[in-house]
Amino acid sequence: MLKVAVKPDFGWIGVFLPDNWIEKIKLNGEWNNTYLRVFLPDNWIEKIKLHPVSTGIFQDIPLWRLTPNGKFSLKLAYEIIDEEERPGGSYPIWRAVWKIPATQRNRSFFWLFVHDRLLTNGKRFRRHLSATKTCPICDHKMESALHVVRDSSLARAVWAEILGNESNENFIQQDRTKWVMNYISGTSKNIDPTLFAGVSWLLWKSRNKFVFEKELSPAEALRHRATELLQQVNQASKRDVLAAKNSPIRRRQEVSWEPPTRGWVALNIDGSVMNGQAAAGGVLRDESGRILKAFVGNIGEPSITRVELEGIVHGLRMARNEGYRRVVIQTDSQTVVELIEGAEERHPHFLAVQSALRLLDRDWQVRLVHVFHEGNYVADYLVSVGHRLPLGFHFREEPDPLLNY
């Protein structure tokens, strides 16, 4: 049973429709407008007509609505979790760490350092891997990652060698994240980000050497080694710049509309979603580029994939009604091309794909090709028009002068 609202002369009332009536609202694979108008107002009918008619009974199945193909994506799931934990996207420091002009080993070290994942004595003690949580170099009561690379006696001596007066109380009062961000972003004028990264990594390396080999490098030796690392990175950067200058020059290729072969017509389709509202547009042209007919449509609130599919369905109907039997469909949506070539029944837009396939299976020749967005300009313009029109599809007998592009 289906409960709907009807509009008799005295107002709205609710009625129940028997199951056999539901079959009557479908006619030749389309909505039966005559039956729909008996019970529903025109604005409801326009919304219903935007949805494809099911040709059979399909079992309900779970779908992952956040992906175009309806399949679960572990990558997207992690992105959603990450967004919930850090609203607004990743903190700037994560990008800054991977952009440090240093070796990959240095970047990996800072990634662990900022995440507080370095296995210091403080962490080893909490995991019952060490009998003490003190610093092995200066016997500080708690060895943390920040203590190793900034606050230990060895670290202070090294930074004093490099920074001079900047290695004061302000230098050691910042928290781990702000301290790293200040120096890897190039804010400090007294130290190069590459040198800062090298010194920090060498301090951690020196600490480990002392723990396992009982050998402690002096501050002067660490400063000298860090300077060598800086020179090596700079030389490598110069080689990269030189290699880039000597690499083949990329040539810009102009992309334009591709006319069909003689005897065929081209059907360009495009769609977009703006402010929660979807629109589609399509245009028929012959091999000379002459516009034969066009349509625009305001489709309500479907996804971008669904609106592209609906655009193809209505474009094919337009071409067939105009009497064309050799049509090449040009769309800039690779997803739609792949769906029509092999969509599964579990896909959330399978009914729309099925509507397109029914049209493709008729007695005519139709090819579906993917084109670049730049070659789909006219359909893209029609989409922008569709966003400003009332709900439904609107066909244009006289082409807009702006379409002759």
Token look-up 């080993």 returns 105
CA–CA gap between residue 199 and residue 225 (Å, rounded): 8
> 101 and 240: one domain?
yes
Domain shared by 368 and 334, yes or no: yes
pLDDT at 87: 47
Q: Which helix (H) or strand (E) holds 80?
A: helix 74-85
Give the pLDDT score at 284.
93
Q: What is the mean pLDDT of residues 340-353?
A: 73
Q: Which amino acid is at 324?
A: Y
* Confidence check: pLDDT of 190 > 60: yes
Instruction: Single out the residue in 193, 211, 245 at which a domain terminates.
Output: 245
Task: Kindly state whether residues 239 and 298 are assigned to the same domain.
Answer: no
Same domain, 109 and 239: yes
> What is the percent of the chain where pLDDT is above 70?
76
Handedness of CA 69, 72, 74, 79 (dihedral sign): positive
Q: Which domain holds residue 295?
A: 265-403
Q: Are residues 145 and 202 in the same domain?
A: yes
158 and 236 within one domain: yes
Same domain, 99 and 153: yes
Q: Please tell me the predicted confidence (pLDDT) of residue 207.
A: 92
Same domain, 126 and 21: no
Q: Distance (Å, rounded) from C-alpha 362 to C-alpha 110?
A: 62
> 250 in a domain, yes or no?
no
Residue 173 forms part of a structural domain: yes
Note the pLDDT tens digit of each residue in 278-328: 899 999 999 999 999 999 988 876 678 888 988 999 899 999 999 999 999
Do 224 and 285 share a structural domain?
no
In a domain, 54, yes or no: no
Asked if residue 399 has pLDDT above 70, the reply is no
* pLDDT score recorded for residue 85: 55
Residue 280 belongs to a domain: yes
pLDDT digits over 244-278, tens only? 555 566 666 677 888 999 999 999 999 988 887 88
* Residue pLDDT, tens place only, 55-79: 665 666 677 777 766 778 888 888 7
- What is the spatial distance between Cα 90 and Cα 397, in angstroms, rounded to a whole number? 50
23-47 per-position pLDDT tens digit? 667 666 667 777 777 777 877 776 7
pLDDT tens per residue, range 87-125 = 444 567 778 888 888 888 888 998 899 888 999 999 999
Domain annotation covers residue 137: yes
Considering the domain architecture, whether residues 99 and 201 belong to the same structural domain is answered as yes
Examine the domain organization and report whether 278 and 199 are in the same domain: no
Domain for residue 251, yes or no? no
Q: What is the pTM of this model?
A: 0.53
* Residue 280 and residue 202 share a domain: no
In 3D space, the residue among 304, 285, 293, 306 whose CA is nearest the CA of residue 356 turns out to be 306
Question: What is the pLDDT of the chain when averaged over all its residues?
Answer: 79
Per-residue pLDDT tens over the stretch 126-156: 999 989 999 999 988 899 999 999 999 998 8
In a domain, 84, yes or no: no
Total number of domains constituting the chain: 3
pLDDT of residue 285: 93
pLDDT band at 1 (very low <50, low <70, confident <90, very high): very low
Q: Output the domain CATH number for residue 358.
A: 3.30.420.10
149 secondary structure, DSSP code: I
| Rounded distance between C-alpha atoms, residue 35 and residue 28, angstroms | 14
For residue 73, is it within any domain? Answer: no
Quote the distance between the C-alpha of residue 240 and its chain's center: 30
